[in-house]
Amino acid sequence: MSSFDLSEFKVIAAMDIAAAVKAGAKSVTLRQGAVVTPSARDAAASAGIDIAFGGAAPASPSAAGSKWEALLNSPEANRIKEEICAVGRKLWHRSYVDGNGGNISYRLSEDAVLCTPTLVSKSDLKPADMSLVDLDGKQLAGERARTSEILMHLEIYKSVPEAKAVVHCHPPHATAYAITGRVPPTCIIPEFEVFVGRVAISPYETPGTKKFAETVIPFAKTHNTILLSNHGIVCWADTVTHAEWYAEVLETYCATLLIASQLGSPITQIKPDKTQDLLNIKQRLGIPDARHGLQECQLCDMPDPVGAIAIPPQPGSGGKHTTAPDAPTPDDIEAIVKSVTDAVIAALEAKR
């Protein structure tokens, strides 16, 4: 086969080029005005595939094309598009994304997901920018190319049937944990326990790749919020707004821990029996947590070692604010001052 016809598609992705390569094609023919994603251009160049635009778009769209266009422009989709734009502006104004970073999606049907486009600031999103993709990442409708990281969203949807929306962003305090390989401790603030709780951290892979997408699979079912190593965070929920809320809760929590760690006193924990009360509320709300079903004594783990970003309570503190074992006493301070003073006087006398 010398040429592979892709003129029925408005957007050409890397997987389309891969199909042409598999068919033994030396070139692909596109409709006029078709959008070729950067990854598709790279795949074509790597495989030696020529890209040719072969004329006007088909006069009448296929039945499948009409179906997806109708879904993309349905009343439900239009409502979700507006919500996605509103959430995008919140993320940008709160400095959770910069440049064209971050992405948002919503599962419209069993086999179609609405998502943000690539290379657009979340502050500048418009409803007309949204794309529709299937669960393999194939773009079904939309004038702009879909986000390159949609594959991660799709793995969450496939792993968690109850997930309806996914938000990925880079809030600085939460990302600070992600780039140090640590997760925030639990059993400290009630709101965090109920809405987020124990956070997972996935291993690093190159963003936008299938390997990167697959890193969230082991955690998605039991965690609605995941730290992405050296990258950012991803949250899922029943609505786009709720997924953004979880990002806010995590970021505020991480910022609060950082401030508390500078106060010089141990961070106190909520007692296990009270934590169980919070997990019971969480279970009634249908929010996942890896600790559901654990014994009380297993609930309040502190994964960070002493001296990490969040300082754990000292052993035996009983949850009370106590002086750290290594903190100097007034007598210690007086002795240190005297020792330094004596040393300075001795040095001055030696110079006479």
Q: Which residues are catalytic?
A: 149
Cα separation of 157 and 168, whole Å? 14
| Sequence letter at residue 335 | A
Nearest to 197 by CA among 181, 179, 184, 211: 184
Pair type for strands 27-30 and 35-36: unpaired
Is residue 272 within 8 A of residue 297, CB to CB? The reply is yes
Cα separation of 1 and 188, whole Å? 64
CB atoms within 10 A of CB 298: 10
Cα separation of 221 and 29, whole Å? 42
Question: Per this entry, what is the length of the chain?
Answer: 352
Orientation angle between helical segments 14-22 and 38-47, nearest 10 degrees: 20
Is residue 130 within 8 A of residue 161, CB to CB? The reply is no
Is residue 188 within 8 A of residue 260, CB to CB? The reply is no
- Which residues are CB-neighbours of 171 under 8 A, at least 6 positions away? 94, 95, 96, 232, 233, 247, 250, 251, 254
Nearest to 172 by CA among 212, 120, 231: 231
Nearest to 9 by CA among 23, 29, 39, 27: 29
